[in-house]
Chains A and B, each alone.
Chain A
Amino acid sequence: MSTILAWTSDACLLVGSFLLLTGALGFLRFNDFYARIHACGVTETLATALIILGLLLQSDSATPQFKLALILLFVLFSSPTASHALAKAAWNAGLRPRDNSGKRGIPLPPRER
């Protein structure tokens, strides 16, 4: 049982770290603001959740588990909200997504134009 837990924990930590790395890479490499937010926001929410889950499975007493669960809940609330706030602020400031050639000419849904 404990072996399975240890393996699951290791897998969570490993996948979480990998996702963090992809998020950082995407943040550096993407040339569009919204793509960068996507790279940070989505991977970081998932990666942080996986890492905390991995740590949860490793700890064996109730107090740290409870604290980690609370931190996980807070991250799940705050991280997507922060990404949303950034994207919305950029949109309201007039920034529009670019296509791959670097032009800001992506056709938008009619209501948003």
Chain B
Amino acid sequence: MEVLIDIVLLSLLVATAVALVMVRGLIASIMLTSVYGLLSASFFVTMGAVDVAFTEAAVGAGVSPLLLLFTVAVIGRKERAPEGGAVLVKSLLLVVVTGALLIVGTLDMPPFGSPDAPAQTHVAPYYLQQSGAEIGIPNVVTSVLASYRAYDTLGEVLVIFTAGVAVILILASSSHRGSARLRNATVPDGSPHTILQVVGKILIPFILLFAFYVQFHGEYGPGGGFQAGVIFASGVILYGLLFGLPTVCRVLPPPVMEVLAALGVLIFGLTGVMSLLNGAPFLDYSVLADDPVTAQHIGIMVIELGVGITVASVITAIYYAFANQLEPGPN
């Protein structure tokens, strides 16, 4: 049964990818990107990677198509006619070479699910067997991500933070400062989206509540800071879409979001420094309390909170920066 679902989902993925290449309208390709994200999320669920599926459903199917839509709204929805032969040959060559390299890369990979794969023989057995005694939380994914490989996770959070800073730097201009600065904007009255707003008002509190559940339940079930951050940001973005950018900017001011993005990274880094000051390696939480296992709990909670704050505020700030392109400037 599961194999059947896998086959159907993968065929749909391939069909979506082919359609994505074939369609010319930019809006249609964006919607196909969203479909692709949703199908990938379903596929991740059947593969047992529910943590990844959360993020993919929120970012791949929701946020990134939305950012693309904002871009299309600014640049126009028609793709330019294909260029002449030379460019076509060059790009075909580039694509063929890249594709060939990727296929060559897969030849060295171990068979799917092989017990001899490096992923199963290197450090994974240690993590799986010792996690219960050393970290003491049921979700091994969280203990690997937040404790054993916390240094890698710090790198990921920094990547997200850097991406947010880069987006704001690229899109900011003299008339659009920061992610969004709507000093003179007035909230439009007489809104045309009444039904959507009413349903949104019912659903958004539960989306935000679910984000907090995912944040604080990450030690026991699928979830954690990254997933909670993107779900929280999707709730905020939904509110912004239904009620307009000025309204959501009054609820969560853009400067606050920018500061929070840095604060999350700071919380993560300072937890590592706390370990250093207590005489342990960077990000080794076991010295943060008298009992090492309790200390691991505290450390994981704190850094997941930092991750959640950074992810939620970076995605919200990126949304502000994109949506702000459509707002009239101060002049």
Residues of B within 8 A of A92 (CB): 192
Residue of B nearest to A85 (CB): B196
**Closest beta carbon of chain B to A45's beta carbon, Å:** 13
Main SS of the interface on chain A? helix
CB <8 Å contact, B202 and A77:
yes
**Closest beta carbon of chain A to B270's beta carbon, Å:** 38
Interface size grouping (class) on chain B: under 10
Interface size grouping (class) on chain A: under 10
Q: Does A31 contact B (CB under 8 A)?
A: no
CB <8 Å contact, A84 and B195:
yes
CB <8 Å contact, B203 and A78:
yes
Q: Does B3 contact A (CB under 8 A)?
A: no
Taken together as a complex, chains A and B put the C-alpha atoms of A85 and B192 apart, in Å, by 11
Taken together as a complex, chains A and B put the C-alpha atoms of A85 and B200 apart, in Å, by 12
**Closest beta carbon of chain A to B275's beta carbon, Å:** 38
Instruction: Find residues 41-93 in chain A having any chain B CB closer than 8 Å to their own CB.
Output: 74, 77-78, 81, 84-85, 92
Which of A74, A78, A81 is within 8 Å of B195, CB to CB?
A81
Residue of A nearest to B196 (CB): A85
CB <8 Å contact, A84 and B196:
yes
Residues of A within 8 A of B196 (CB): 81, 84-85
**Closest beta carbon of chain B to A39's beta carbon, Å:** 18
Taken together as a complex, chains A and B put the C-alpha atoms of A108 and B196 apart, in Å, by 24
Q: Does B199 contact A (CB under 8 A)?
A: yes
Can you give 13 contacting A-B residue pairs, CB < 8 Å? A74-B203, A77-B199, A77-B202, A77-B203, A78-B199, A78-B203, A81-B195, A81-B196, A81-B199, A84-B195, A84-B196, A85-B196, A92-B192
Given contacts A78-B199, A81-B195, A81-B199, 10 further A-B contacts (CB under 8 A): A74-B203, A77-B199, A77-B202, A77-B203, A78-B203, A81-B196, A84-B195, A84-B196, A85-B196, A92-B192
Interface, chain A (partner B; CB < 8 A): 74, 77-78, 81, 84-85, 92
Interface, chain B (partner A; CB < 8 A): 192, 195-196, 199, 202-203
